[in-house]
Structure 1
Amino acid sequence: MPPSGDTIPSTQFIDIGVNLTDPVFRGLYRGKQVHEDDFANVIIRADAAGVKGMMITGGSLHESREAVDLANSSGAGIYATVGVHPTRTSQLESYPSGAAVYLGLLEELIEQNSKPKGKGKIVAWGECGLDYDRLQFSDVDTQKKHFATQLKLAQKHGLPLFLHSRSAHQDFVSICRGAGYDKDGGHANGGKSGVVHSFTGTEAEMKELVEMGFYIGLNGCSLKTEENLAVAKAVPLERLMLETADAPWCTITTPHSSYHHLKALPTDLRQLYFPDSCKKEKFVTGKTVKGRNEPCATGGVAWIVAQVKGVSIDEVATHAWKNTVGLFGLSELDE
C-alpha cells in the first residue's frame, strides 16, 4: 500500500465522462427548482481538486447538442462527445425523418465543432455500444444495428470512441472486430482506438479489450465489489483512464468495497475530492449536494486505484493524463 505522504496535492486529472448537461447541476430535479443553480461552484470545486479537463457525454442528438453548446461556452479544458447511447438507439428507429437524417445531424455537429475545420470541442464519437441490462429501452437487434453504424461514422470522421458495454461483451467484441477494431485499434479503416468507459466486466474481458487496443475507464461504478477491485488492479497503467462517469451518478458509497480505501486518504485531499455536502432540500451555497456525484471526485477514484495497485496517486494520474491527452488529442492541456 502506498504511503499517504506520497500524494501530491497538485496532482491533475481529466474526467473523461461527466453529464454536466444534467439539470441537477442547475438545481432542477424532475422539472422542479429545488435549490439555486450551482453549476459555477461545481466547476470551481473541480478545478480546486485538480480536474483540469472534462469530457461532457453526449448520448443522443439532443444531449450531444447540449454538450457541445456547454463545452463551447465553458472555456478551455472542457470538451464534448457526440453519439447515441445504446439505450437511446430506439430514437433512431422512431425519428420522423429517419435514422439517416438523425445521424446526419450528428455529423453536421461534428463538422462544425471538431478539428481541424471546426472549433475542436468534439473529441470523440459516443457514447455508443451495447447495454443488455436495460433492454426495455432498446432491444438487442436495434442496439447491434446502430452500434455498427456508429463505428463506421467514427472511422469516417477519424474520431476516437467513447464506448459503453454492459452485460454484452461477446456481441460488443464481435461488432468491434467486424468494424476493424482489433489489434490495430481500427486504424486499418481510418478510425482510432477508444475507451470502454465505466468498466464493470471481468478481468478476462478487460484483457481482451486491451489486446484489441482499447483503453479502460474506471469510476465509482467500476469499484463496487472485491471482484471489481481485482480487475482495477489488473488494468495496465498504459491503458487506464479516470472518470467520475456519469456524474451526477456513480458515487462511491459506504457499502462499496472501495470505500474502506478512502480511510487512508489525507484530510486535505478528502476535503478537495469529497467536500462537505448537504441535502438538496437544505441546500447551502458552496456545499455539494448529498448523493450527487461531481467531477471533483475523480481524485477519489484515482486514490482507490492507486491503493489497490500499490502505487502512488501521482503515478496513476500521470498515466491516465497521458493516455487521455494522447487518444483524444487534448494537446492544449499540456501547453
Structure 2
Amino acid sequence: MPTLRYIDIGVNLTDPIFHGLYGGKQAHEDDFINVTSRADAAGVKGMMITGGSLYEAREAVDLANRLGEGVYATAGVHPTRTSQLDAYHSGPAAYLALLDELIEQNSKPKGKGRIVAYGECGLDYDRLHFASAETQRKHFFTQLKMAQTHSLPLFLHSRSAHRDFTSICRGAGYEKDGGRRNGGMGGVVHSFTGTEAEMKELVEMGFYIGLNGCSLKTEENLAVARAVPLDRLMLETDAPWCSITSTHASHSHLKTLPSDLNQLYFPDSCKKEKFVMGKTVKGRNEPCAIGGVAWIIAQAKGVAIEEVAEHAWRNTIKLFDLQELDKSLE
C-alpha cells in the first residue's frame, strides 16, 4: 500500500489531557511526546492546532512554534466562548484588538505564518448555557468581517443553527465563491454533523466540509459523508474529543481495516488509572486516529483510502496555503 499522508485540520493539542491532566489533577505521566510520535508514525504530516479564544490562540501559536515544521494554528472565538467578549474588562473591541494583533504578528505575509485560519468561530445552539444565541450571532458576524481584513480562510463551527449560520455568512459576503469578492478566502465547516441538504448548501456557498469521528456516528451521518464531494472534503480528529467508539454506526467499517494500518491508527490502549507509557489512553482521541476516519469515509464511498487521503490533502494545502509543507515532502 502506498504511503498515506494526512493533515489533521482540527486538533486541540493545548488541552492539558495530553499531559496527563484531567480536571486539573495529574492522572498519569506526561506523554505528550508519545502523542506526537504516534501521529508522525501514522502519516500525520501536518496539524492545525485549534485556537478557540484569545488565550487559547496564544497557546496554540506558542505550541506550533515549538513543534515546528508542519504544525500550524487557528485563532478566533468559539461560539460558546463569545460571552468572554462581553465580559472582557475593556470591552469586546479591546479583546478583538488583541486577537487582531496576534493574527497580524503570526499570519502571512507580514508575520511568522503559523496562523493559517480564522476561527474557530460560528454558532452553537446546542450549548446556549455558555452564550446566548444573540451573543453568538453578533460576534460571529464581527469575526467574519475581521477574517476578511486578514485575508484568512475560516475554520467554522455550526451546531443546530444552520439557517442562522448560512444567513450570517451570506450577510458577510460568503456566497458561492467563498466570499472572495469581499476579501474572504473561503473556509471549512469542521466536525460537520448536519444533514445532506445542509452540506450541499454549504458546498454551494464555497465551503469545505471537515469530517471526524463525531461526523460518522449514525447511518444518516454515513450517508452524508458518502455524499460529500471529494474535492470539498477535509479530515480531522478534533482530538482529544470526537473519537470513534464501538456504539457508532461507523465502527463496523473498522473491522476491514488492514492490521498494519489498524496498529498505526489505533495503537494498544489502557485506562488512565492503569496508565502504561507508550500506550494510548482510552477515551482520549489522538491525531493518529485520522487514518481511521479516512478509512471509514473510503468504505462508505466505495473508493480506495488513498483517494480519500490525497483529495483531503490537496484540498487542505489549497485552502490554507500550505504549499511549503507539500514541497517539503516531495
Smaller-chain TM-score range? over 0.9
Instruction: Give the counterpart of 2:122 among 123, 129, 154.
Output: 129
Q: 1:78 aligns with which of 71, 74, 84?
A: 71
Q: 2:250: which partner in 1?
A: 258
Tell me the number of residue pairs that the alignment of Structure 1 and Structure 2 aligns: 327
CA root-mean-square deviation: 0.6
Superposed, which structure 2 residues align to 1:102-251 within 5 Å?
A: 102-245=95-238, 247-251=239-243
1:37 is the counterpart of 2:17: no
Alignment partner of 2:16 out of 23, 30, 35: 23
State the one-letter code of the partner of 1:52. K
Distance 1:113 1:62 in 2: 14
Q: Provide the rounded CA distance (Å) in 1 between the counterparts of 2:67 and 2:93.
A: 31
Aligned-partner Cα distance in 1 for 2:167–2:236: 26
1:277 to 2:296 alignment: no
Per the TM alignment, residue 259 of structure 1 is displaced from its structure 2 partner at its CA by: 0.1
Counterpart CA distance in 2 for 1:80 and 1:215 is 18
Could you state the TM-score of these two structures normalised by the residue count of structure 1?
0.97
Q: 1:231 deviation in Å?
A: 0.1
1:51 aligns with 2:62: no
Q: Is 2:303 the counterpart of 1:305? A: no
**Local SS of the residue matching 2:173:** coil
CA apart distance, 1:170? 0.2
2 CA distance for matches of 1:213 and 1:184?
5
The CA deviation at 1:333 is 1.4
Counterpart CA distance in 2 for 1:318 and 1:251 is: 22
Q: Secondary structure at the residue paired with 1:281? A: helix
Structure 2 counterpart SS, 1:126: strand
3-state secondary structure, aligned to 2:249: coil
**Corresponding residue SS for 2:46:** strand
Bigger relative contact order, structure 1 or 2, given CA contacts below 8 A and separation 6+? 1
Cα drift, residue 281 of structure 1: 1.2
Per-residue deviation, 1:118: 1.0
- Bigger Cα displacement from structure 2, 141-150 vs 27-36: 27-36
Which runs of 5 or more structure 2 residues have no equivalent in the other structure?
none
Moved over 3 A (4+): none
Query: Which shifted more, 124-133 or 27-36?
Result: 27-36
* Amino acid aligned to 1:229: L
Q: Identity percentage over the alignment? A: 78
Q: Distance in 1 between matches of 2:217 and 2:27?
A: 30
Q: Distance in 2 between the 1:269 and 1:135 partners?
A: 40
| CA distance in structure 1 between the aligned counterparts of 2:133 and 2:103, rounded to whole angstroms | 27
* 1:60, distance to aligned residue in structure 2 (A): 0.6
Q: Deviations over 1:162-216 (max 9, x none)?
A: 0000000000000000000001211111111000000000000000000000000
Q: Residues of 2 paired with 1:56 and 1:273: CA distance?
A: 19
| Alpha-carbon distance in structure 2 between the residues aligned to 1:34 and 1:252 | 23
